[in-house]
Amino acid sequence: MSEAVVELAGVVREYPGAPPVRALDGVDLRIGAGELVAIVGPSGSGKSTLLHVLGTLDRADAGTVRIDGHDVGALSDAQLSALRARRIGFVFQQFFLTPGVSALDNVADGLLYTGLSLRERRDRAHDGLAAVGLTHRETHRPNQLSGGERQRVAVARALAGSPSLLLADEPTGNLDTVAGRGVVDLLHELHRAGTTVVVITHDLDVARSLPRQVHLRDGRIERDAA
Amino acid sequence: MSGRDVSGVGVEPSRLRPRDVLRVAGSGLRARPLRAVLSALGIAVGIAAMVAVVGISASSREQVNQQLDALGTNLLTVAPGTTLRGETAALPADSVDMVARIGPVTTVSATGTVPDAAVYRTDRIDSGQTNGLAVLAARPDLLETVAGTVAGGRWLDDALGSFPAVVLGSTAAERLGVTRTDGSVAVSLGGEWFTVVGVLDPVPLAPELDSAALVGWPVAASLLDFDGSPTVLYERSAESQVDAVRSVLPATVNPENPEEVTVSRPSDALAAQAATDETLTTLLLALGGVALLVGGIGVANTMVIAVLERRSEIGLRRALGATRAHIRRQFLGESVLLAALGGVGGALLGGAVTAAFAASRGWPPALPSWVLAGAAGATIVVGALAGAYPAARAARMSPTAALTAT
């Protein structure tokens, strides 16, 4: 079996309140390098919390989280930031592109916190946009792009730092069927090129099109089917 | 599972270049240009007020200095003062010659008050209605000694001194409504008609001449019952000897009662006048400081709102690998940049106000460089203070809270 990019063991995440909400309740999950995995479940199942834990944006209350070999629980906030800057790429449902900034510079911002020079960042962003088939849209601003194109720009930004793990949170949620299929095809393409991709979705059709589906319900893994 | 080491070997730390801090801060402002301009305006008003206040007072001081340079500071005036019994004392008729004999004295001149004489435009005005204009007998060398100039017409030279000719001080000419100096205008002076032959410019070192009608010494004696005793002596000496001359003047002009004599240095009065503006300048400067403080609060307010509005941006940046320090630096930089924008605008505005005001007064514009340095420093401090709290708040925000807020 290939090296593990994600290793969760007995992960619990509880939000304070009366009564406290247990968003993750003892999750064990192993994702190997190069896998394409869907994490699927109804809303409130803990998908988003799991994404945050995988992306080291949130810490587990119990259990161990290893991302790309690093024990997240033992890392400082600055070290987690470093991990996100260099090893993890994020794609969000709302794209979160910077308005008024060209597609090229939006992608280049994916490398902003690596300390590379602007010229180097733009060079790589150029290649990244080519990889998602948007070379002709380099100078366009987000409001001049279609939804599908925006999400492809966001994917290019997430990939700019060649991360070990690409996390996509409902990447097709704001797209029509055709544009959504285009993004899913893009993720397949990345998978074939060797990128580890985790897609969080409530859309069963999207989930079914991916090689492995992890079903989440009430903070537990209900089914893990390849 | 041996894995890669956690604490360094594996992952290089996040890094944000200083130049990129500036870029990111600048792009934050560019995203909302109107808001940036409006909140920078507060700072600009404060800085402009302070720069203009200092600039205008520096220009005024510069004007006085230039004036003193041109007029000289070696003029002393000697007045008889009052006797012990409170009467106006008189200077001896030969006091002018006595002063001229003091070694370092280069020029000496005098005016003498013509008693009970008034000057009117016509002889039909009730003589009880005085107009505050004095009639003075003047020696021919007076104008040169007090560094006065003629605005129109001519001065009373030796030839004119014996004829009924009058030269009016600037205020006197204005009050009498005299503008023509071609000899076509005559004024009634002590019951006699005197032809106006000249009008003076204001005399900064001898402002008492501005509201006087000046006639020749001989004609004052022959037509106006002037007794020939000078009332005020004007004297210039070598600059280095002014103090020495000053100390011997009273005994020279009035050997019997030197304590009655008052000697003054008009240039001191001019300089003192410039110095009295200092209090007002300090007050206005403090007002400018208050405006700057209010501007700073405006910037802080803008930044607090920006942090609240841009939670998802903060979340995205944390996801892209920004550390808390990077987020803090971004918002702090934005705040300082915002204040600096106002500072530059304010300095330009203040400089323009100074230049315009100085031009309207005919002053040389002066703006000390420490004012600009001070303005720049104040701006950075205000920006940093205003941004400190919002930036800390942005940095403390948890990435997940920032991302899930919409």
pLDDT tens by residue, B51-92: 998 888 888 888 888 877 877 778 888 887 776 666 666 777
Neighbours of B55 (CB within 10 A): 26
Q: In whole angstroms, give the CA distance from residue B185 to residue A90.
A: 95
A217 CA: distance to closest CA in chain B (Å): 20
The pLDDT score that the predictor gives to residue B337 is 94
Given a cut of 50, whether residue B2 has pLDDT beyond it is: no
In this complex, is the C-beta atom of B10 within 8 Å of any C-beta atom belonging to chain A?
Answer: yes
Q: Residue A100 and residue B31: Cβ atoms within 8 Å?
A: yes
Nearest beta carbon to residue A81 from set B14, B17, B406? B14
Please tell me which residue of chain B has the smallest CA distance to A158: B320
Residue B211's pLDDT band, with cuts at 50, 70 and 90, is confident
| For testing contact with chain B, the best of A65, A84, A102 (most B CBs within 10 A) | A84
Please tell me which residue of chain B has the smallest CA distance to A100: B31
Given a cut of 70, whether residue B127 has pLDDT beyond it is: no
Per CB-CB distance under 8 Å, the chain B contacts of A58 are 398-400
Q: What is the 3-state secondary structure (H, E, C) of chain B?
A: CCCCCCCCCCCCCCECCHHHHHHHHHHHHHHCHHHHHHHHHHHHHHHHHHHHHHHHHHHHHHHHHHHHHHHCCCEEEEECCECCCCCECCCCCCHHHHHHCCCCEEEEEEEEECCCCCEECCCCCCCCCCCCCEEEEECCCHHHHCCCCEEEECCCCCCHHHCCEEEECHHHHHHHCCCCCCCCCEEEECCEEEEEEEEECCCCCCHHHCCEEEEEHHHHHHHCCCCCCCCEEEEEECHHHHHHHHHHHHHHHCCCCHHHCEEECHHHHHHHHHHHHHHHHHHHHHHHHHHHHHHHHHHHHHHHHHHHHCHHHHHHHHHCCCCHHHHHHHHHHHHHHHHHHHHHHHHHHHHHHHHHHHHHHCCCCCCCHHHHHHHHHHHHHHHHHHHHHHHHHHHHCCHHHHHHCC
Given a cut of 50, whether residue B201 has pLDDT beyond it is: yes
Q: Residue B11 and residue A86: Cβ atoms within 8 Å?
A: yes
Q: What is the pTM of this model?
A: 0.76
Nearest beta carbon to residue A74 from set B6, B400, B403? B6
| For testing contact with chain B, the best of A13, A112, A117 (most B CBs within 10 A) | A112
Sheet harboring A36-40: ordered strands across?
A88-91, A165-169, A196-201, A36-40, A212-217, A220-225
- Residues in chain A whose Cβ is within 8 Å of chain B: 4, 7, 48, 52, 55, 57-58, 66, 68-71, 74-75, 77-79, 81-87, 90, 92, 94, 96, 98-101, 109-110, 112-115, 117-118, 157, 161
Residue B5's pLDDT band, with cuts at 50, 70 and 90, is very low
Q: Which domains does chain A have, with CATH numbers?
A: 33-58+78-225 (3.40.50.300)
Residue A82's pLDDT band, with cuts at 50, 70 and 90, is very high
Burial A191-221 (b: 16+ CB within 10 A, else e): beeebbbbbbbebeebbebbebbbbbeebbb
Size of interface A-B (CB pairs under 8 A): 125
The pLDDT score that the predictor gives to residue A208 is 92
Q: Which is nearest to B47 in space by CA: B346, B298, B337? A: B346
Q: Residue B27 and residue A113: Cβ atoms within 8 Å?
A: no
| For testing contact with chain A, the best of B4, B403, B404, B406 (most A CBs within 10 A) | B403
Per CB-CB distance under 8 Å, the chain A contacts of B315 are 57, 96
Per CB-CB distance under 8 Å, the chain B contacts of A57 are 315, 318-319, 399-400, 403
The pLDDT score that the predictor gives to residue B168 is 86
> H/E element holding A152?
helix A147-159
Q: Which residues contact B95 (CB under 8 A, 6 or more apart)?
A: B78, B110, B230, B233, B252, B253, B254
Q: Residue A84 and residue B31: Cβ atoms within 8 Å?
A: no
The pLDDT score that the predictor gives to residue B220 is 80
Determine contact, residues A3/A32, Cβ cutoff 8 Å.
yes
